[in-house]
Amino acid sequence: MIEPSDNLLLNQSETISSNLAEIIPHINNLFSDTSDLVIRKLTIKQTGEKAILVYLDGLSDKTAINRDVMRPLQFEAGSGEPGDELIMTVSQIVPVTSWAQIEIALLQGSSVLFVSGRSEAYVLDTQGWPQRAIEDPQLETSLKGAHQGFLETGGQNIAMIRRYIPNRELKMKRVIVGRRGQTVVTILYLADVTDPNLVSTLELRIQKLDVDVILNTGELSELIEDHPFSLFPQFVTTERPDTAASQIMQGRCVVIVDRSPSVLVAPVTFMSFFQNIDDYSTRWSIATFLRLLRIFAFFVATFLPAFYIAVVSYHFEIIPMKLLLTLGESRGQVPFPPFVEAIFMEITLEMLREAGVRLPAPVGQTVGIVGGIVIGQAIVQAGLISNVMVIVVAFTAICSFILPNYDMVAAVRLIRFILMILASLFGFVGLVVGLMTMIAHLISLKSLGMPYGSPLAPVRFVDWKDTFIRVPLWLMKKRPTSTKPIQEMRQGNNRLKEDDL
């Protein structure tokens, strides 16, 4: 448990006084050393009452405050009775009485109006924090899909999903997480499709959280996943509204974390990480080809360097003769054992990649040149690394770039190193043991209580329609069974028979 600080010890039930002279010091006391707090005194023309308007500069929309609050209050004349409903043109006015509510409202960008003589304050919906425009998603670019990515505002993100699913069965569960952060976390699901157990499990896990703040979806995902020590990601995070909508339609839950531009999808299977929204908008044969390519790339990216080490240090009898000659020649001048050579190159690759991610674009180019020319070419000419190793590393890198999910790529990177160590110690035996352990681990994993290995283990042939191959859309009449949806059918006959035409 976190020790609550003094601020949090505030008496939740303490109500506001009706005397403005008491209110102002109270606010100043609450928000001491808060230079962006604005307290505006005014007289309401309509009733003649004294009032103060309090808001945080920058978090509130000033135009709205000026136009919809200050102006009507100061210029509109009404019936004139004190205690009347005030004339304001803001969309939402919530009367509150406790200081705790007022504090939260202020911190979230609303402005609060205290009126002399009234024992309630009004929370006015004037939120307007800094926001960027909707842009193309950065991590998951798509060729044919929409070019809208999620934003940092939860409400906007919900709206973007709603645009895809205008259906009243799209329900939401709202949980506030974080003592300090008060992060609004919303679970979206289709009430007549999604298994209610999933929703309640997810909600329970989020409710149980006791943290300071959740800044990003990744934090939430790490806090609520089933196997925190596993290398594999157990939830998909996406920054694409269309992907999120498609997942909801498949009976999954989507968790939107306010202030984070990516949303979390649960439960997912291992094969979800090989799917991409473009798979469904390209022709099915192409989509199938790409899917198989990704699965192949997964194995190459995981095993190739380890395989190289095993072959060169233990099992060179399997190398074809002509390759043996070239490989031997290039290995012959390398002063390091194969494992050191491979680890060195792989770590260089990881460093280049990390450098490329963090550096601003103009400097990023330099990294490419340094990596490509200095490391790639010079290192071979200097005889430090064999050129076959450079090819192996390059091929591995390309294969890991094909995988559409960043989290899975990260997992693959780590597993690769483990396998390399195993291969250097035991050759193929180590490699096979590594593979078996990996598979055993994969099929024992769960995502939100649902088997992670589905539809491969447990075998669910119905779901294979969207696993290794992507069958034509009109054949996928059922939702994936891995999420145990209540409503299984998702479409009827979509191909007209010849006599129907």
Instruction: Summarize as ranges the residues that interact with other proteins (CB under 8 A).
Output: 312-314, 316-317, 319, 321-322, 324-325, 327-329, 331-334, 337-338, 424-427, 430
45 backbone dihedrals φ, ψ, rounded to 5° = -70, -35
Q: How far is the CB of 225 from other proteins (least distance, A)?
A: 23
Which residue, 153 or 424, has its beta carbon nearer to other proteins? 424
Tell me the CA end-to-end span of the chain in Å, nearest whole number: 68
Which residue, 332 or 492, has its beta carbon nearer to other proteins? 332
- Residue count of the chain: 501
134 backbone dihedrals φ, ψ, rounded to 5° = -70, 130
Separation between Cα atoms, residue 173 and residue 204, nearest integer Å = 11
Instruction: Check: CB of residue 222 under 8 Å from CB of residue 257.
Output: no
Which residue, 338 or 451, has its beta carbon nearer to other proteins? 338
Which residue, 2 or 324, has its beta carbon nearer to other proteins? 324
Q: How far is the CB of 383 from other proteins (least distance, A)?
A: 9
Question: CA of 310: how far to CAs of 298, 415, 421, in Å?
Answer: 19, 16, 10
Which residue, 211 or 340, has its beta carbon nearer to other proteins? 340
Which residue, 77 or 440, has its beta carbon nearer to other proteins? 440
> Within 10 Å of residue 197's Cβ, how many Cβ atoms?
12
Query: The tokens of 355 are what?
Result: 């450098």
Q: How far is the CB of 421 from other proteins (least distance, A)?
A: 9
Q: How far is the CB of 387 from other proteins (least distance, A)?
A: 12
Q: How far is the CB of 375 from other proteins (least distance, A)?
A: 21
Separation between Cα atoms, residue 409 and residue 405, nearest integer Å = 6
Q: How far is the CB of 378 from other proteins (least distance, A)?
A: 17
Position 203, amino acid: E
Separation between Cα atoms, residue 263 and residue 216, nearest integer Å = 9
Question: CA of 156: how far to CAs of 63, 133, 138, in Å?
Answer: 20, 11, 18
Place of tokens 């890991």: 400
Position 242, amino acid: D
Which residue, 249 or 425, has its beta carbon nearer to other proteins? 425
Q: How far is the CB of 318 from other proteins (least distance, A)?
A: 9
